[in-house]
């Protein structure tokens, strides 16, 4: 049975650094929402080096003689063209073409793959895998840290890790007595370091000690989410509810800006027929909106000439851009190119009237991931 809350392997250190005692639960794990100041943490992950706890990611191993065949049917890209040691990004869809999840798929060996995703879909995937006589094995006793920022590589190198990895590559390493996996599956140009539960504290301490010279700092979940918005990545459970019931069509990959994860040359994945149909009729697209002022709640309507053309998803103040940004779903026909839309903000105690604010539609991402500065 899953406990109500779970502490990650880094919890002791996170608790020590968490000045405001600000916690949040994600996928059952208790995580630092903010250590000190979200803006500071987001900036350090963009300008210097930051360490975020990502042990909450759902990871499952698909292993067996038919693992490749199963994943080829499950995912929207061809896993068979991955070399062992390589990874790819893909979606998995329901029969109706709705997004059930997005993942990084890493090929560990000929018959061994790992799925890394932001939200679990364990029952459905287990059921699907059973058609191929496979039993997915969830990884439960491994922690993960994201090392972000332009000096991430330098910090890792200083800590004694060989970090010359291309994006989407990963490597198993033996790090002064610890078995770790270093990967680059994330969207923010950084690294992920995966270790056994018991090694969590040692890993944290080594990184912090080696990274001190680069201003390394722990990054809370709020800042990590902010990076997602700046990178234009819609996340399940936060920006959209993935399909959980049978044949649902929504949300479609197009409406979430995830269509680039569907390989057009790949012809045999679950939900493809429905995806081909929905691609023609889906009117909504994921865009970014930038504006000055208050951060609106999710699902705040966006108007154009008085007509509702979409709504916001997650929004936040971006310290790097110095204005508020939000992901939004809008009808594509309503926003040709650079358009201004109107955001309706609900009354607050300070400002009791309904306010209309002008917002600028912008392409995504707002900001590119920082390049690694060679050590």
Partner 1 sequence: MSARSFDAVVIGGGVSGLACASYLAKAKKRVLLLEARNALGGLCEHIVLGEGFTAPVGAHVLTALDPRVVRELKLAKHGLKFAQRDMALVGLGDRPVTIVRDVPDTVRHIAAHSAADAAVWPRYRNELFSLARTLRPFWWEAKSPRPLPGAALEALERFERLSAAAWLDSWFESDALKATLAFDAGSASFEPGSALQLVWRAAQEMSGLQGAVSWPRGGPAALVAALTGAAKKLGVEIQTGARVARIVLHEEQANGVELASGETIAAPLVFSSLSRRRTLCELAPGGAAGFDALSALPKRGALGEATVLLALKALPNADETSRFVVADRLEAYAAAASAARAGRLPDELVFEFVTPPGLAPPGQHVLSARVRPVPAAMDDEMKTKLGAKLVSALETHKSGLSKQIAAVEVLSPDDIATRYGYNEETDMLADWTTRLMTPIPCLLLCGAEPVAAVSGRAGRIAAALALGAKR
Handedness of CA 273, 278, 279, 280 (dihedral sign): positive
- Two tokens at 214? 């680069």
Q: Interface with partner 1 by CB under 8 A: which range of 5-13, 36-44, 93-101, 305-313? A: 93-101
Task: Round to whole Å and give the CA distance between 124 and 119.
Answer: 12
Please say which residue, 188 or 249, places its beta carbon nearer to partner 1.
249
Q: CB of 95: closest distance to partner 1 in angstroms? A: 4
Q: How open is the CA angle 315-321-323, to the nearest 5 degrees?
A: 55
- DSSP of 154-221: HHHHHTT------TTBEEEEEETTEEEEEE--SSSS-EEEEEEGGGHHHHHHHHHHHHGGGT-EEE-H
Q: Which is nearer to partner 1, 141 or 268 (CB)?
A: 268
Residue 241 CB, nearest approach to partner 1 (Å):
17
Show the site string, 244-263: x = touches partner 1 by CB under 8 A, - = not: --xx----------------
Of 97-126, which residues contact partner 1 (CB under 8 A)?
Answer: 124
Q: Is 96 in the site for partner 1 (CB under 8 A)?
A: yes
d(CA 357, CA 347): 12
Outline where DSSP puts E strands in 210-273. Answer: 217-219
Residues 263 to 302: which contact partner 1 by CB under 8 A? Answer: 267-268, 270-273
State yes or no: residue 74 binds partner 1 (CB under 8 A). Answer: yes
Instruction: State the minimum distance, in angstroms, from the CB of residue 72 to partner 1.
Output: 9
Closest CA relative to residue 206, chosen from 220, 197, 216, 221: 216
Binders of partner 1: how many residues, by CB under 8 A? 21
What SS3 state is found at 275?
Answer: helix
- Using CB under 8 A as the binding rule, whether residue 234 contacts partner 1 is answered as no
Question: Binding residues for partner 1, per CB under 8 A?
Answer: 66, 69-70, 73-74, 94-96, 124, 127-128, 131-132, 246-247, 267-268, 270-273
């Amino acid at each position: 049975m899953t406990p109500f809350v779970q502490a990650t392997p880094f919890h002791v250190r996170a608790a020590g650094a968490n000045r405001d005692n600000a916690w949040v639960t994600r996928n059952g794990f208790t995580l630092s929402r903010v250590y000190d100041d979200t803006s500071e943490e987001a900036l350090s992950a963009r300008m210097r080096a930051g360490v975020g706890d990502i042990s909450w990611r759902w990871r499952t191993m698909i292993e067996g003689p038919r693992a490749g065949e199963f994943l080829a049917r499950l995912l929207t890209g061809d896993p068979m063209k991955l070399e062992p040691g390589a990874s790819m990004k893909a979606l998995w869809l329901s029969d109706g073409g709705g997004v059930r999840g997005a993942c990084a798929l890493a090929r560990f060996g000929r018959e061994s793959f790992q799925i890394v995703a932001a939200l679990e879909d364990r029952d459905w995937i287990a059921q699907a895998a059973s058609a191929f006589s496979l039993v997915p094995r969830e990884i439960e006793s491994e922690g993960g840290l994201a090392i972000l920022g332009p000096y991430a590589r330098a910090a890792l190198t200083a800590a004694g890790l060989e970090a010359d990895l291309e994006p989407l590559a990963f490597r198993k390493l033996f790090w002064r007595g610890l078995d770790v996996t270093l990967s680059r599956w994330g969207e923010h140009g950084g690294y992920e370091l995966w270790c056994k539960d018991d090694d969590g504290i040692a890993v944290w301490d080594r990184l912090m000690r080696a990274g001190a010279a680069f201003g390394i700092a722990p990054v809370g979940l709020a800042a990590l989410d902010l990076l997602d918005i700046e990178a234009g990545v819609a996340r399940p459970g936060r920006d959209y509810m993935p399909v959980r019931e049978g044949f649902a069509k929504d949300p479609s990959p197009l409406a979430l800006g995830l269509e680039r994860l569907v390989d057009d040359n790949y012809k045999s994945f679950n939900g493809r027929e429905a995806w081909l149909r929905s691609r023609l009729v889906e009117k909504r697209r994921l865009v970014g909106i930038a504006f000055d002022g208050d951060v609106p709640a999710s699902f705040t309507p966006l108007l154009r000439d008085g007509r509702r053309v979409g709504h916001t998803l997650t929004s936040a103040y971006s310290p790097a851009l110095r204005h508020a940004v939000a992901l939004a779903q809008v009808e594509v026909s309503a926003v040709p190119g650079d358009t201004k839309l109107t955001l309706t903000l609900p009354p607050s105690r300070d400002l009791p009237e309904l306010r209309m604010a002008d917002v600028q539609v912008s392409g995504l991402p707002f900001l590119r991931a920082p390049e690694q500065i060679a050590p």
